[in-house]
Structure 1
């Protein structure tokens, strides 16, 4: 039997920034670990050579919506941009499919409103001719959430509903599958459209037998400092400001161990009040007991894994209104490594952590985060032992085999006869 042929379509893939590189790297590895899947990958035409080489990806797409080229002040121009990009996607991918061999599956891991009509046209034209099934991964919030997790749909929800519901006949015959990566997002989409999306587990290369946890290092005065890591690029919605405020309040406490706070922070960003905060401001929140280490350049995969491995505590103080339904890949990776976590309650991360009974939940304020961090530092050994004891269950839940089995369900192979 011939290998299953799968094409990954990722127009924003060109460097190691954002989630695109790691997600597609993990996706390809998970699929190939099954032993009978051939994976091709298309990215942006300006893809860096080392990225193209490592992923064996082909530079192809001329435009990506994540360049903000359609983010215009006038609503009419923004709506025109949605149609324009759908056409550009259709044109570019159609040009490739016409000359490529047949694919059993075309997988688009990052789909937004600017893509749905284009993929609908591609499915209508090429299903059964150039590919067997089209799998679209949608993971953007169509709704807004308040700090209590209450949902209100955005003004663009009517366009999302129209674009998604057009796939109904294709969903019924299996030529198109709509997937997301969170049960909470699936609930959101179902409320809007009446269509239940499948939930695709998050792929991860972390947690293998070679990913051994590193002991924490000694501080400058000879005492062992607890390494507290907020993984991923620092952004307001990820709670980095809340963490800084909590750490500043901890400076007045008597800590059982000094803290090394690790942040990935390259550029400044604006706060809701219009002021700006950036990596240069971090030092002012430290103290004799608390030191900051800021990574100002993007970490390579190996560097990121090394920092994750050497961390004693992962802190994910995400704002509930941004992460009520959104997943966190770094939370999955931390749990697979058996790392204790402090996380915001009533978020996707909290639901995951609580299902495995690990970590400490914090409320949505800086004061509550301070208390949770203090609790974690006092009980770090117990928390670590518990997290390590649950790591194997997490690895099984997010295994490559499970990811591949869901993605390749109804595999769409073309008969050799």
Structure 2
């Protein structure tokens, strides 16, 4: 009899339904369960009962660096925080793994400098014993891309990260460790930084999203243009405001409605709070969403959108993936996006839409006008290419990257150990 494969997902910040951690881990859990794999998630100690029951989450982490507990104006204190958290992660997982039967795969979906050292020591102790394959996923930039640079600029402090990553090379070559990311540009950046090979993964989306595609029925009287997800300055919401204000004054007859999620304070570069334009708040063509959305609410807004608008800042999103862009492509919804970013790569490969120069609100307004005027054309193109998006971001493709091989239900998994 073939024993059931087991995977451990390690997500110290998973507490409730808020943030990317829940949605991402829900999809990964679903993919593995559907393949007959037993899933356990190591989560924060305050994880809700609902998430525990749904995702088989185990509350083990008392602290998460994502709560900003190590932030300090002192560089020395920040570096000490990195050491302290790596030690904490090691101790917590050492205790957990020592009392477990072990896992065929351990997946860590969000790895930054606060975790890399801990996993080196955990590998040394548990490799091929209770940890047969380790997948460490990279989301954050190590470098920056100022002045329209296409090559990353690494600050002096990244030498620490470079040295740590290079310690993983032998584990990567043996096949025990896989470094992953969801952007080809990101993979290239880390290869330039440390010479490590990074596997590009598709972005996991639940099968619910594919079901939603089959039920979309665009019957809007006006073209609905949505900007969804937690509002941040790096997402260009200030540029979007300017563009909409310009359209309201120059094209008042334009047949469209804007849905904008602005559910938290947005801080400008000078420390001041970004304010909404009164003209937008008073316009019947603009609807602000002032709170976090449940999965069902988010899906409702997404599927009733005719266009998704993503005027993200190039410096922040030159390499980074956007989950909502993937969702829009899968659902056959055209996108207005910033040129020379990961977004442009995605749209050219499996989406449809219009590109805009970085932080150019006048061009953004112009492209909104074009999109509204030719919405049927762009929607048809997006629908035609949506099959490519679903195929690339499919469960089978994701699982093959995660496990390093094709996964078939109830079949054993080969190991490098």
Partner secondary structure for residue 172 of structure 1: helix
1:359 aligns with 2:349: no
Per-residue deviation at 1:334?
Answer: 0.5
Three-state SS of the structure 2 residue aligned to 1:58 is: strand
Which residue of the partner structure matches residue 25 of structure 1?
26
1:152 counterpart SS class? coil
8 Å CA contact retained: 1:268, 1:277: yes
Structure 2 residue aligned with 1:284, among 279, 284, 288? 279
| Residue number in structure 1 paired with 2:248 | 251
Q: Deviations over 1:29-48 (max 9, x none)?
A: 12222x23111111100112
Aligned counterpart in structure 2 of residue 383 of structure 1, from 378, 381, 403:
378
Query: Are positions 1:215 and 2:218 aligned together?
Result: yes
Relative to the length of structure 1, the TM-score reads 0.93
Unaligned runs of 5+ in 2: none
Return the alpha-carbon distance in structure 2 between the equivalents of residues 77 and 377 of structure 1.
Answer: 51
Report the Cα distance in structure 2 between the residues aligned to 1:292 and 1:78, rounded to whole angstroms.
42
CA offsets 1:377-404 (integer angstroms, 9 cap, x no match)? 1111111111111111110011011001
Other-structure match for 2:47: 47
8 Å CA contact 1:149–1:346 kept in 2: the answer is: no
Q: Which residue is 1:299 aligned to?
A: 293
Change (3 A) 1:282 1:225: farther
Pair 1:396 & 2:396 matched: no
Aligned to 1:332: 326
Distance 1:304 1:282, change over 3 A: farther
- Residue-by-residue CA offset, 1:147-198 (whole Å, 9 max, x unaligned): 5144211333111101111112211222211111111011100111111211
- 1 CA distance for matches of 2:258 and 2:146? 28
Which of 328, 335, 341 is 1:347 aligned to?
341
CA contact (8 A) 1:87 1:118 kept: yes
Partner of 1:146: 146
What does 1:261-276 correspond to in 2, within 5 Å? 261-276=258-273
Tell me the distance in 1 between the aligned counterparts of 2:305 and 2:236: 18
**Residues in 1 aligned to 2:106 and 2:203: alpha-carbon distance in whole angstroms:** 18
Query: 2: CA distance between counterparts of 1:16 and 1:357?
Result: 28
Q: For 1:197 and 1:356, how far apart are their aligned partners in 2? A: 22
Query: Match of 1:312?
Result: 306
What SS class does the counterpart of residue 110 from structure 2 fall into?
strand
RMSD over aligned Cα, in angstroms? 1.8
Q: 1:371 aligns with which of 349, 357, 366?
A: 366
Mapped partners of 2:374, 2:102: distance in 1: 56
